[in-house]
Chains A and B, each alone.
Chain A
Amino acid sequence: MPHDHHDHDHPHDHDGLSPSGHPYRADNDAPLSYWQRMEIAVRELMIEKGHLTADQVAAQIDTMDARSPANGAAVVARAWVDPDFRARLLDDAGAASREMGFDIGPLHLIAVENTAQVHNLIVCTLCSCYPRNLLGLPPDWYKTREYRARAVREPRAVLREFGLDLPDSTTIRVHDSTADMRYIVLPARPSGTDGMTEAALAALVTRDSMVGTGLPRQP
């Protein structure tokens, strides 16, 4: 009971808890790991030798941080309103994303389409492969051993925990990103969205709906 005062009378620092009753997060002043030292050493050497600058490193981090699920949502909404674009997306999702102006680098992207009969789910059992160059950084749960192991073994149980209870008549297709491809789910367009603008449709597309752990919002 973090907020209880028990039998002592000073009003602060009970059991190492903050005034709001939560534990303080430990400072990260443990010794550097081998790979942390290696990263710092290589980065400093590259800068010293003039191969890149600290500004370029910071700019690359900014570029990655600027990528967000909104990019993928724009691609999905375009596919919902433009059948020719949808066909190009399913044929080569990387080329279709670049066509919309997204700088996704060398990403090899495959779009898998949800229909009335099929639901797709993306996982990387070997590590944490994710279409970062389009959607930005993956959510923490995507990288956990639990999600990675269970998504291939009991996808229906996993989806129920995400609030998605699919009927037995729906076929689930799980896609394990084991090698060079990355995946995005093209969710089915929600009903009741006729006449909505592309921008309004994009606002319905959640990150989870593009991983397959969710569905788009209803308008």
Chain B
Amino acid sequence: MKHVKRVIAIALLLCLAAPSALAALDLPYDTYTYDYWGDVRFTPAAYVPTATVSGGDLTYHGEPIGAFVTPQDICRSPGGDLYLADTGNNRIVVLTESMDTVQNIITGFERAGGWDTFNAPTGVAVSETGQLYIADSLNHRIVALNADGTLDKIVENPQSEVLEDDFEFTPLKVCVDYADRIYCIAQKMFEGIMVFDTDGQFTGFFGTIEVKISLWEKFWRRIATKEERSKQKLYIPTEFTGIDIDDDGFVYASNIDTDGVQAVKRLNPRGQDVIKTGFRENLGGDLWTDGSTQYAGASKITDVVYRGAGIYSLLDSKRGRIFTYDHEGNLLYIFGGLGTQRGTFTTPVAIEAVGDTLLVLDSYRAAILVFGETEYGALINQAVALRYDGDETQAVEKWQEVLRLDENNELANVGIGKAYLAAGDNEQAMLYLKRGMNKSYYSVAYKRYRNAILRDNLSVILTVVIVLIIGGVAAHRILKKRRLKAGDAK
């Protein structure tokens, strides 16, 4: 009896202990990924909300800086400072990397002896040399300031034959590469990203999105009269929404794809898309988008951030999710959601990476939401980075740790399977590669395994085959003779 009581007591204690352990991970959103079959598979949390930074909490020289008003963009400078386009307040707020102190507030600049200000700056970018580029949208210009705050140049009113005469230049997002070329997403500019050279001269478009018209739509347009056609909707490509540049000068540009197939491009210096789309050939965010509610439909990707080692994250404003892919187009993890709780968004507009953390700018809540990586997220990031650098053996250790936390992680299984394959352990390789659902590598392992078996047992197999053939022929002859004899007897 005493024994039973003790067991019950221990069981009760365990019950009490379990929820508290879970409570630490009680997040307002799910972390998940899509498996080989395209089914949702929930995983441990990859990122957890760690802080929220809003304008009301910050002071500059002892004075409160006041709440942000519809901020639109954040950018991390190479020095580590954070530049925030506080659009509604017509200012740029510069925060330190820890985001607790304001380093500077830029409200304008000196120009031709006078003081010039911004009007709804919607985009910021910092070049490698520390120059600050501001998409001053309602002033229809891009302002480039030197690190000390003096004016470097102003890009406005671009002139070119390819631009229409009544085109009004309204820059929304801006980005600078290592050669100080300016990449700009402009309002109502469907031809692509506008590129300006170092002097601010417009040089051309970049990464045009092609219009997709189905055969059926073409047919209807063909039989429609001119009058009808003028009333139909126009087939124009979608605009780009966000832009970032990786270490090699390749441009990552996100766009809204209503089909949910490809919402991000990686553009080489010639403007061609060179992104890898993975085995699923999908970089469009969520795969499960069916339904007829407001909440259904393809993800609306509003921004992209390149995070190093080939990893990039997309920000979805439809369901408030962050999708992270590696350089091969494999989906690593998905987290985030809409709401008003800590760690959820109402109108996410921009995403930025600072070290291990991810920052998401919420325009309506006027705050920066900070997400810190968990052990699970860190392990995946490190493993992918190691593989990106070609250090597969070290990556395997990380993948094994990942499997400890998430047994069904396909990438981890494939990573380990490949290591076994390289080490020559075909059976183990087959096991892991099958779990990871990697057809081609599984086939390589299986072929080697099959060949080894055939080679080792060649003499036995050949003997059996020869014996069977001889036996078969002999049996056939004996039976024939008997049948003949039986026939004779009749």
Do these two chains interact?
Answer: no
